[in-house]
Structure 1
Amino acid sequence: MKAEDAKHISSIIDAIGSERIGTAIDALLRRRLDFDMSCVYLFRFNHNALLVHNGYNRSVSEKTLNAYIRGGYLLDPFYVACINQHPAGLWRMSELAPDSFYSSGFSISRDIHPCVSSEHGTLIEEVGFIIPIQPQVAIVHSLMRNLDSGAFQEWELDELRACAPVLSSALALHCRTRYGDCETATEEVDVRLEDAFIEILQGQLTETQRYIAKLILQGHSNASIASVLKISEGTVKVHKHNIYQRLDISNNAELFRLFINYLARPS
């Protein structure tokens, strides 16, 4: 081990349980590769996202971060992966995202998507470490890069993977130390619908329609929804027509606007 790496690892150990943990980890990672922004979130089913480390470098407004933490995270592929027990490790967002995610309202929205609201606009690639803590509880440390600087290369991902044991152990211990309730034993529950989605659409849609609305918001195409529910695309189209009719809207963009309006309501 190089002396400089040992120094950074020592700093990470010293930072466990403090606000410095994310900055200390980023300092180690920057010895391996360049990135423009970073963040660490604690994701728990049916709980608001918890921002553990803000490495957005003041390029994301407090309004956008609050909207993301209040409910925008529900559409984030990393959150969805975590509550569905996705394997630990380093993943590109593109490996986790549904087939129509990059044209979805969330992906292009400055209202609730921190990367899009940043100075880099939509030209962002994101990779993230998924670190499971309990069933449906996980930490994600994400690194983001302006694509003008080039996408993350495979050799760079290999460099990050080499740091994974230190990063995973430090962040898991940090969360157990600082957020003790994240380690409380939980019974795995049905992840079809979080309370937020139920509240947004309560009384207007059937459970199946609410679930389809959730999949639409998360960036699934008709074909993807059909595959998830094991129904035909024609049936999906009928459900979507009925959803639009019941909500008095006409397209996916208006459905997303309902979601945004819900997040914008006073707490």
Structure 2
Amino acid sequence: MEGLLRELPLHHGLAQLFEHLGGARFWRALVLQLRQLAPFDNALAVCFTPRQAPLILDESSFDAAPAASPMPLYCQGLYLLDPFYQLACEPFTDGLHHLPDIAPDQFQQSTYYLDYHRKEVGVDEVQFLLRLAPEQVLSLSLGSSSPYQAEQIGRLRIVQGWVLAAMKRHWQLQEAPQASPPRNGLSDQLAQMLEQFGRGCLSERESEIARLTLRGLSSKAIAQQLAISPETVKVHRRNMYNKLGVANHSELFNRFICQLSQNG
């Protein structure tokens, strides 16, 4: 009987969730339901479409004094550095995905993570990802100021079946939101932004290395992806930094942010 009583709030929450399918309060009801299973500090529902800016569906924060939303800057171009957006642009399995399982090898040392993700999302993140169409992915992000424990991840994986079903049904019932105008592909957008603040001075190889550096790949990982040696990567990176007038990854990221602000 005691176990049944502990589960009572969960069943009440499910009833409320079903009532809000297709309505304005659906995402909030879903987030509150999931928060009974694992603590997190913020949630974001979004529709990812390759070559388009993300479509923000709902945003929740549980901070005592929430700050201004970081979404305008994210949608202007920071999403291009988001490992979950990058995953949504590739084949993946519907379900719960954990940041450490999908991020590049040095993502947590990247300036994007240190200066943006850790501050605005948290030190850890999971996302329920559901492919709605060949180029349309529905996502629910749960950001946490502390690392998720294995037990918490396990609880969320247990419920992913009905979570994904509810997300899909809600999308079908609601009036379809309007997406942003199409843009170029992920690599092209990053290359163009780099070329703009580099004033066209970077070679094609240097632009590739700048793009992969911003995404959080190590010299070794970049070398493997481009089929060149790590020493060659370091030479190209040094030349790229010199041409852009920056000294390190942090200054490169700041230049990227400035370019996004100017474009916005």
Same fold (TM over 0.5): yes
Three-state SS of the structure 2 residue aligned to 1:265 is: helix
Give the Cα separation in 1 of the matches to 2:205 and 2:184.
14
CA distance in 2: counterparts of 1:101 and 1:16, whole angstroms: 36
User: Which residue of structure 2 aligns with residue 179 of structure 1?
Assistant: 176
Distance 2:66 2:47 in 1: 19
Aligned-pair identity in percent equals 27
2-structure distance, mates of 1:126, 1:192 = 22
Q: Which residue number corresponds to residue 116 of structure 1?
A: 119
TM-score normalised by the chain length of structure 2: 0.82
**Match for 1:260 among 241, 257, 260?**
257
Q: Displacement, 1:263?
A: 1.9
Q: What is the match of residue 102 of structure 1?
A: 108
Pairs within 5 Å for 1:172-251: 172-176=168-172, 177-179=174-176, 193-202=187-196, 203-251=200-248
Structure 2 residues without counterparts, runs of 5 or longer: none
- Name the CA shift for 1:210/1:136 in 2 (closer, same or farther; >3 Å): farther
Tell me the TM-score normalised to structure 1 length.
Answer: 0.81
Per-residue CA deviation, residues 143-193 of structure 1 (Å, 9 max, x unaligned), is 22332xxx42323222211221222122234345443667xxx9xx99561
How many residues end up aligned between the 2 structures? 252
Partner SS for 1:51: strand
Tell me the distance in 2 between the aligned counterparts of 1:25 and 1:199.
Answer: 37
RMSD: 2.9
> Aligned pair 1:26/2:31, yes or no?
yes
5+ long unaligned stretches in structure 1: none
Partner amino acid, structure 1, of 2:139: V
What are the Cα deviations for residues 65-106 of structure 1, in whole angstroms up to 9, with x where unaligned? 211122111111111111122322212211111111111111
Give the match for residue 79 of structure 2.
73
For 2:11 and 2:204, the matched residues in 1 are separated by 53
- Give the alignment partner of residue 14 of structure 1, picking from 12, 19, 26: 19
CA-to-aligned-CA distance 1:91-125 (integer Å, 9 cap, x gap)? 2211111111111111111xx43x5147xxx6x32
Instruction: Tell which structure's C-alpha radius of gyration is larger.
Output: 2
Is the 2:47–2:138 Cα contact (8 Å) retained in structure 1? yes
